[in-house]
């Protein structure tokens, strides 16, 4: 494995993702919007800039795919899970209640009906994760990191994960193998009866 020259990315446990989603009040239009955004980020591994560039008709409901334009203007097809699709459909039904301008095509809107900005999404997600994660950078990107790590944890192929993330090189994706291995090491150390030395063995 290549030597890491920067810290490993912050990642949520699967249970923490579920806790965050359960915490969102979906009885309000803004809550539905935030839930749809978080479900999308975790389901697809999109960058926040990619997610916020989506329009209301960007999603193919039949194929459960999204066409996005990533870094360097590279276009790719992103897969969408059913839960994320359902959350987006629920949000679409109450999107008009946020008061968007006539003809506004941006999918994700702020509580004031304007296109949601990255800084607004960052603040909302940081607040959402308060008390759930103590990661120093609780930004929207933590769901992208978690997406990749959880796929690898469950045996997904590195090349496939790289393509889903829109990475131009496998080297960019390999950092998540280190995260996955570190998580395995922690689980092993905590659970295996002879993973650590004992004073009795000294």
CB–CB of 34/90 below 8 Å? no
For residue 4, pLDDT over 90 is answered with: no
CB–CB of 95/104 below 8 Å? no
CA distance linking residue 11 with residue 175, whole number of Å: 12
**Active site annotation includes 176:** yes
| Phi, psi at 75, each rounded to 5° | -95, 140
**Active site annotation includes 91:** no
Q: Is residue 67 situated within a structural domain?
A: yes
Residue 95's domain comprises: 14-191
Annotated active-site residue in 47, 95, 138, 150: 47
Q: Which of the pair, 193 or 37, is modelled with greater confidence?
A: 37
**Active site annotation includes 185:** no
Q: Is residue 200 situated within a structural domain?
A: no
CA distance linking residue 176 with residue 26, whole number of Å: 32
Q: How many domains does the chain have?
A: 1
The confidence score (pLDDT) of residue 9 equals: 75
Q: Is residue 130 situated within a structural domain?
A: yes
Annotated active-site residue in 19, 83, 114, 167: 167
Q: Is residue 102 situated within a structural domain?
A: yes
Q: Is residue 26 situated within a structural domain?
A: yes
For residue 146, pLDDT over 80 is answered with: yes
Q: What's the pTM?
A: 0.82
Q: Is residue 72 situated within a structural domain?
A: yes
**Active site annotation includes 141:** yes
**Active site annotation includes 47:** yes
CA distance linking residue 41 with residue 51, whole number of Å: 7
Q: Is residue 3 situated within a structural domain?
A: no
The confidence score (pLDDT) of residue 157 equals: 82
**Active site annotation includes 42:** no
Q: Is residue 110 situated within a structural domain?
A: yes
The confidence score (pLDDT) of residue 96 equals: 96
For residue 1, pLDDT over 60 is answered with: no
Q: Which of the pair, 133 or 103, is modelled with greater confidence?
A: 103
For residue 160, pLDDT over 60 is answered with: yes
Annotated active-site residue in 138, 144, 145, 150: 144
| Phi, psi at 174, each rounded to 5° | -65, -20
Annotated active-site residue in 71, 117, 123, 137: 71
CATH number, residue 101: 1.10.443.10
Task: Render pLDDT for 177-186 as a digit per residue (tens, 0 to 9).
Answer: 666 666 656 6
For residue 187, pLDDT over 80 is answered with: no
């Amino acid at each position: 494995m290549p030597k890491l020259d920067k810290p490993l990315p912050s990642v949520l446990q699967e249970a923490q993702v579920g806790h965050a989603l359960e915490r969102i009040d979906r009885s309000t239009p803004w809550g539905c919007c935030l839930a749809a955004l978080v479900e999308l980020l975790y389901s697809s591994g999109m960058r926040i800039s990619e997610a916020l560039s989506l329009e209301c008709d960007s999603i193919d409901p039949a194929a459960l795919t999204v066409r996005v334009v990533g870094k360097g203007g590279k276009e790719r097809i992103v897969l969408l899970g059913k839960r994320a699709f359902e959350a987006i459909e629920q949000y679409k039904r109450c999107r008009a209640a946020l008061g968007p301008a006539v003809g506004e095509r941006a999918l994700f809107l702020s509580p004031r009906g304007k296109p949601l900005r990255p800084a607004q999404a960052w603040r909302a997600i940081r607040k959402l994760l308060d008390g759930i994660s103590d990661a120093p950078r609780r930004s929207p990107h933590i769901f992208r990191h978690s997406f990749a790590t959880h796929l690898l944890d469950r045996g997904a192929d590195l090349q496939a994960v790289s393509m889903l993330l829109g990475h131009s090189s496998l080297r960019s994706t390999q950092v998540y193998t280190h995260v996955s291995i570190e998580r395995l090491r922690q689980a092993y150390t905590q659970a295996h009866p002879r993973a650590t030395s004992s004073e009795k063995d000294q």
